Structure 1
């Protein structure tokens, strides 16, 4: 298992030449979700159906007792379908983004439009979406006591604040246990939801504090985001996501070393992340890694990690020799 210092250094190394793609993909996700919320707002709040029912908004129609029950039910179905569509859109974009981080960690070049690749494999996206739904459901269930106390006693009471603190702690600890489930699902197209959850529980049984330490090591970067009013997040968010991805890959390699799990679940679509053909000197300058043969795209994470480790050790040795 790599140390957190090695994980951060390796993340920075792999992002060379891919910063523009991952940042651009992040903006594509923001733009796509913004467009979705604009449509949702137009339908639900402004009432895109108003020409059919006068000048009332969709929400007021659902609350008006004079409107037939069938129409209210239909409008409720439309709103529910739109909300589900939003979750589906978010899941597909998140899957595509996570696959990009996996590709970067394995030494491949990515493109901005790769963020939409999450929608191409419907069974894979279904498994990933199911994993997200289960995690969200667990979080909601854990927050029920806090919601009930806030409803009965008010959100400004001492009881509510104590319950909120305890609930937040429990949710965060449970979140650490399931933190690798979405990544496992994104990394293995045929892995089902419950298998992804069990995989995360297995991986994190002895690595919770290590992952927490990785998050805490970004505290300075978070402060930088605060001081820059969030602008630094353009670079900090991809850096953190890439580090967490490498943490998962390193932990997975230790717990499942090229055994049945790899053979059963690994289905890499090499055509998705073909190496960008560049002159040798330019490729070396952009990625920091000397170009190899045409099989670069098929290298595993362990191969890339060993190559990086050997280069780092060689560089350190040369530096020590020069100092002597």
Structure 2
């Protein structure tokens, strides 16, 4: 397994010539979520209980579509495969239900571990972090199997994945000084690095199976 610096380097290679497109996708997802965020802040729960529930539900459903869309786009980008915004969003919408089930099951498992203590919850989130990529590569795999495969893949690699996330902390701290606009670039960079990490880990798993 490559270290964090080498993974970030691979991510930058994949992003070369694609930065604006990657940042553009992030900007679009933010613009899509703004109306729901504004509506959520303006609704008073006590006076508009039903509306508040509908907005919360809408936000949850939309987050699944966006998560699938973003993961699809950046996994292709990391592999230097061209894919447009429309294709990424179309896939996120078309595969909403399978990925909703996956997200829901992961959320329940992480919540169960978090109820024990915060640290087990963090470890669980690291353990299941590759499930969405596994399902993107094999849409026919069940949610439970994707989570199980992710757990197996992450044995011995959870700390490396955590260190990869920590390696972006410097960039994150600089974001407020760019009026938060720099967050678009950091997000694109981080998601590409996550996809690179998955591809390296998956390649290692496939080698062990042969």
Q: TM-score range by the shorter chain?
A: 0.7 to 0.9
Instruction: Flag the structure with larger Rg.
Output: 1
User: Residue deviations 1:113-143, cap 9 Å, x none?
Assistant: 344123443xx33222112112222333344
Q: Return the alpha-carbon distance in structure 1 between the equivalents of residues 179 and 152 of structure 2.
A: 38
| Maintained 8 Å contact 1:25/1:115 | no
* Structure 1 unpaired stretches of 5+: 47-55, 60-74, 146-166, 261-324
Structure richer in helix, relative to its length: 2
> What is the SS of the residue equivalent to 2:180?
coil
> What is the SS of the residue equivalent to 2:2?
coil
Q: Which has the higher contact order (CA 8 A, sep 6+)?
A: 2
TM-score normalised by the chain length of structure 2: 0.85
Please say if 1:179 is aligned against 2:150: no
The match for 1:32 is 32
* Structure 2 unpaired stretches of 5+: none
| Maintained 8 Å contact 1:95/1:128 | yes
Question: Post-superposition shift, 1:243?
Answer: 0.4
Alignment of 1:1-324 (within 5 A): 1-39=1-39, 44-45=43-44, 57-59=47-49, 75=50, 80-121=53-94, 124-144=95-115, 167-257=117-207
Q: Return the alpha-carbon distance in structure 2 between the equivalents of residues 36 and 198 of structure 1.
A: 34
TM-score normalised by the chain length of structure 1: 0.57
The 3 A distance-change label for structure 1 pair 88 and 213 is same
Say how many residue pairs are matched.
Answer: 210
Q: Return the alpha-carbon distance in structure 2 between the equivalents of residues 20 and 258 of structure 1.
A: 37
Root mean square deviation, CA, Å: 2.7
User: Residue deviations 1:56-82, cap 9 Å, x none?
Assistant: 9433xxxxxxxxxxxxxxx4xx65454
> What is the SS of the residue equivalent to 2:129?
coil
